[in-house]
């Protein structure tokens, strides 16, 4: 075969980019569905009475009801060295063995599976506006997870404010903008705590 004949059989750049765009849409849809499955998996594997779980709830339900709200840290939790307690604050606890099976089915480590479940629960329970855009396939799962990770352990009112501030740009928000918005909301709502940090 001549080189000119091979060139005639080669796909055009436009065709390749079209295939790439289609593959990206399929991959994004699959990643969003994995987040949905993670939420359903977590909800179907609650901590039963007397069992252990990934339960930050015991730690953040500390003060009197007049002081704390579900998902909001009080001083005893804010000072804890336990990063996991902070990260799982404000989301439902799940059975201790739930992440392992989920992770295995998703071909990832248990630690990665647990983080994915945590991020999905943060989106579903603490960032409902952004979660709705994920469900509509308007925000890629990886970008939504970045927002979820940015607000881990934050006060409920700060998370709500970030959700409202970011929802319109969640499909394109970068790390610098996200950090700035989070800092602004923390300064606006908890100035003393922000100044201490």
Q: In this predicted structure, what is the pLDDT of residue 1?
A: 53
Tokens representing 193 are: 């705590």
Q: In this predicted structure, what is the pLDDT of residue 57?
A: 40
**Rg of the chain in Å (alpha carbons):** 21
Q: Tens of pLDDT along 15-45?
A: 999 999 999 999 999 999 999 999 999 999 9
Q: Name the residue ranges covered by the structural domains of the chain.
A: 32-196
Residue 142: closest CA among 16, 2, 30, 17: 30
Spatial distance between the Cα atoms of 180 and 196, rounded to a whole number of angstroms: 17
Spatial distance between the Cα atoms of 6 and 130, rounded to a whole number of angstroms: 48
In this prediction, residues 105-131 reach a mean pLDDT of 97
Q: Tens of pLDDT along 159-192?
A: 999 999 999 999 999 999 999 999 999 999 988 7
Tokens representing 128 are: 């409902």
Residue 146: closest CA among 164, 171, 168: 171
């Amino acid at each position: 075969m001549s080189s000119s004949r091979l060139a005639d059989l080669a796909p055009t750049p436009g065709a390749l980019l079209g295939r790439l765009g289609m593959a990206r849409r399929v991959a994004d849809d699959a990643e969003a569905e994995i987040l949905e499955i993670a939420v359903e998996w977590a909800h179907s594997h609650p901590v039963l009475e007397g069992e252990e779980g990934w339960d930050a709830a015991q730690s953040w339900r500390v003060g009197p009801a007049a002081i704390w709200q579900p998902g909001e840290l009080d001083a005893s939790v804010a000072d804890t060295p336990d990063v996991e307690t902070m990260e799982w604050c404000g989301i439902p606890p799940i059975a201790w063995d739930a992440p392992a099976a989920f992770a295995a089915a998703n071909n990832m480590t248990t630690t990665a599976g647990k983080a994915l479940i945590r991020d999905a629960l943060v989106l579903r329970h603490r960032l409902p506006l952004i979660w709705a855009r994920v469900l509509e396939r308007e925000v890629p799962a990886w970008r939504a997870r970045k927002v979820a990770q940015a607000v881990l352990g934050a006060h409920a009112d700060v998370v709500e404010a970030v959700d409202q501030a970011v929802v319109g740009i969640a499909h394109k928000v970068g790390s610098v903008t996200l950090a700035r918005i989070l800092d602004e909301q923390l300064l606006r709502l908890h100035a003393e705590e922000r100044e201490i940090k």
